[in-house]
Amino acid sequence: MFQMIGGGEKAGSGIDKIRQGWASQHWRFPAIREQTQPDRVWLVLPIVSMLPGQSLEKLRELFGTPFDGLNQEEVQALVTAELEGEVSNRRMKEFCDRHPSDLTKMLQGLVRRHFYPQ
């Protein structure tokens, strides 16, 4: 619709520019949510730090000293679950460049060790 009135570009670089801007500010990456019936697409643009201090404090209180033994990607997964109510392989792929099977193993390991925000 915006292209019809001359308000849009065809290059397809908009999402990349948004992601670069969010990364430069160390904010959580934008997320695209899709829904069918009715068809809708949401672009969620959180203006929240990648690792907000309040979330880290809450998770440290919840899990105690074992939380300090987690690697950066495991911490990011828990923060994502705490902030967004869930974490998935697909969402973690937006934060890191690990193979999807490695992310699945990491998330399963967190669950197996009882690391999940309530």
pLDDT tens-digit map of 17-66: 887 787 777 777 787 888 888 888 888 887 777 788 899 999 999 999 99
Every domain of the chain and the residues it spans: 12-48, 50-118
pLDDT tens-digit map of 68-116: 999 989 999 999 999 888 999 988 988 888 899 999 999 999 999 999 7
Contact 94, 109 (CB under 8 A): no
CB contact set of 5 (below 8 Å; sequence gap of 6+): none
- pTM metric for this prediction: 0.65
Confidence grade of residue 4 (pLDDT, cut at 50, 70, 90): low
